[in-house]
Amino acid sequence: MSIWSYANPVKFLALSAKVQPVLWVAAAVSVTVGLLWGFFGTPDDFRQGSTVKIIYLHVPSALMAINAWFMMLVTSLIWLIRRHHVSALAAKAAAPVGLVMTLIALVTGAIWGQPMWGTWWAWDPRLTSFLILFLFYLGYIALWEAVEDPDTAADLTSVLCLVGSVFAILSRYAVQFWNQGLHQGTSVPVATGGRTVSDVFFYPLALSMVGFGLLFLALVLYRTGTEIRLRRTQALRVRMEKTA
């Protein structure tokens, strides 16, 4: 019994049906508690006032925007190497979620940036590379939509995802080179363990980060299930047309 046995759609659907209710509840609870705690339970920042509270939406969505692409990269690789259909469909299912996360991060960032920096948008490395990530998501989804044969579409989008990842990283450093920006450094550097955010702000932030992660997982499982069922109905329809 290895993890690969879940590449079987039936087993995958059975497991995901069992896991999903738990995930949904956990995601709903942690997102709600994290956001409410962050919004009502923390003091205003001494410099930024109450605007700092958008951080509980901004940081988790930005985190998930990048991780969603990373997940698509991994599932694309699995599809290319082992050709498990569930993997390719999971990548397809994750893309719109990642797109929305990127959009949330961009919009909340603009809303936060307006009072803080006096501008809605700045051509700053982090902002710009997120905009490019947004474009990558658009292209990826558009390619899925454009190719008719599902297996070919999975192949093509997988390669696009790999190439896109390389260029996304390259763009990240290119825009850094091009313009030093306004955006502050990361608030929760995982590698060093040191935090620039005080504990009062950190705990609700961590909770909503976990919540967004769970929410992403639940959404992707749900959407993957939908994709599998869509594929099945299509197969059935083709068979019916043949017999009729």
Amino acid, single-letter form, for residue 185: G
Contacts of 40 (CB under 8 A, 6+ apart): none
Residue positions counted in the chain: 244
Identify whether the C-beta of residue 220 lies closer than 8 Å to the C-beta of residue 97. yes
Strand partners for 49 = 45
Structure tokens at 154: 């999975």
* Options 41, 49, 115, 139; binder of other proteins; rule CB under 8 A: 139
Cα–chain-centroid distance for residue 5?
Answer: 25
In the complex, the smallest distance separating the C-beta of residue 151 from other proteins, rounded to whole angstroms, is 9
**175-214 mask for other proteins (x: CB under 8 A)?**
x-xx------------------------------------
* Options 132, 182, 188, 197; binder of other proteins; rule CB under 8 A: 132
Give the binding range for other proteins (CB under 8 A) out of 34-42, 59-67, 153-161, 203-211. Answer: 153-161
* Options 77, 143, 188, 210; binder of other proteins; rule CB under 8 A: 143
SS3 29: helix
Asked if 110 is part of the footprint of other proteins (rule: CB under 8 A), the reply reads no
Alpha-carbon distance 216 to 210, whole Å?
10
Give the binding range for other proteins (CB under 8 A) out of 20-28, 54-62, 156-164, 203-211. Answer: 156-164
Give the binding range for other proteins (CB under 8 A) out of 25-33, 47-55, 160-168, 212-220. Answer: 160-168
* Options 142, 200, 230, 235; binder of other proteins; rule CB under 8 A: 142
- Using CA of residue 35, residue 39, residue 41, residue 46, what is the dihedral sign? positive
Alpha-carbon distance 159 to 193, whole Å?
35
In the complex, the smallest distance separating the C-beta of residue 212 from other proteins, rounded to whole angstroms, is 25
Alpha-carbon distance 27 to 24, whole Å?
5
Residue whose CB is less far from other proteins, 135 or 197: 135
Alpha-carbon distance 85 to 222, whole Å?
16
* Options 155, 183, 188, 195; binder of other proteins; rule CB under 8 A: 155
Asked if 235 is part of the footprint of other proteins (rule: CB under 8 A), the reply reads no
Residues found near other proteins in the complex (CB under 8 A):
132, 135-136, 138-139, 142-143, 146-147, 152, 155-156, 159-160, 162-164, 167, 170-171, 174-175, 177-178
